[in-house]
Amino acid sequence: MSTAEKLEAANEQITTLSAEIAKNAGTQIPLQVQKLTDDVGSIKNAIEEVKDHLKTQTPPEPFPMPYRDALATYTTNPNQILLGKCPTQEHAKAHAAIRDRQILINPDRDHPIFNDSTKRETAIDLIRQAIEAVDRVDGPEIQLKSIACLQNNGILLEFNSQEATAWIKKVPNQATFLEKLGGMTTIKDRIYSVVIPFLSIATDLDRCHTPKVLWTWLQLTLPNSSTSCAQCPCMQMKTKGLMRRKTVGCEQSSFAQDRVVSAKEKRGSELSAH
């Protein structure tokens, strides 16, 4: 076959293939367009259904207040003592009243109940059983208000009244209470030491008026921040907690009393000057 004949045969094949391609394309395109139109209609119907559903729903809750606005609207608690501020006499009285209703329990490290592995409900049930063991008809009403577990494994109990706390701390009741708790549990006395600076070593701490004189001297000579922890008038100064400091020129036993008198005279002169 010559080259011209081969070219003519190829042209005929190309013409035939082109006709078949055009025929097939012409039949498929309308079908694809119809399918695409149906899909768009389905999407449109779905959007309309979503709109109708949203109309029947309640509006969403507003977003929470930003942290900046929350700080701006925060009101200070009147009972809160700010850092660097000394507690007032009312705060000291309130804390002293709460402390008088509390009992600090100090269990041993190997206690079978008061440990990290025991559930809180089990420990509370044991404490309630110990309270019921010392509850008597002739005693005060004993109600447990709160239980706080401290970091050193101590347990702070708060009762409804000071009488209830004193009743549990009585010698026979305390022994029964601790025996019911089990282990080597003890009740710690919450006594705070008061440091008296420049106190003569010859001061007689056994005299009944010595704590009163020292307390008056503290209030007159030291700044408020030094006695802020003991502003409550009902505070009883424990002579065992007093610490003595030997200083030069403070050898007379009446040194504290002289300082009280001089401080009173100084304060009186300042008031008369104003």
Task: Tell me whether residue 62 is in a domain.
Answer: no
Task: Tell me whether residue 21 is in a domain.
Answer: no
Residue 247 pLDDT: 35
Residues 201, 226, single domain; the answer is yes
Helices assigned H by DSSP within 135-247: 162-169, 171-181, 210-221
Tell me if 151 sits within 8 A of 134, measured CB to CB. Answer: no
Q: Is 54 helix (H, G, I), strand (E, B) or coil?
A: helix
Residues 153, 183, single domain; the answer is yes
pLDDT by position in tens, the chain (length 274): 666 566 667 767 777 776 776 666 655 666 666 677 777 778 888 888 888 888 888 776 776 777 777 777 766 666 566 655 666 677 777 888 888 899 999 998 888 888 888 888 999 999 999 999 998 888 899 999 999 888 888 899 999 999 999 999 988 899 999 999 988 889 987 666 666 666 777 878 788 788 777 777 776 665 554 444 444 333 444 433 343 433 333 333 344 444 444 444 444 444 444 4
Last residue of a domain, which of 162, 188, 214? 188
Q: Report the DSSP beta bridge partners of residue 138.
A: none
Residue 26 pLDDT: 57
CA angle 226, 229, 233 (to 5 degrees): 105
Task: Tell me whether residue 15 is in a domain.
Answer: no
Residue 15 pLDDT: 72
CB atoms within 10 A of CB 140: 17
Residue 29 pLDDT: 64
Residues 129, 210, single domain; the answer is no
Residue 76 pLDDT: 66
Domain housing 139: 89-188
CB atoms within 10 A of CB 132: 10
Residue 98 sits in a domain of what CATH number? 3.30.70
d(CA 74, CA 78): 12
Task: Tell me whether residue 24 is in a domain.
Answer: no
Task: Tell me whether residue 39 is in a domain.
Answer: no
Q: Is 227 helix (H, G, I), strand (E, B) or coil?
A: coil
Overall number of domains in the chain: 2
Residue 102 pLDDT: 92
Residue 250 pLDDT: 35
Task: Tell me whether residue 72 is in a domain.
Answer: no
Residues 118, 141, single domain; the answer is yes
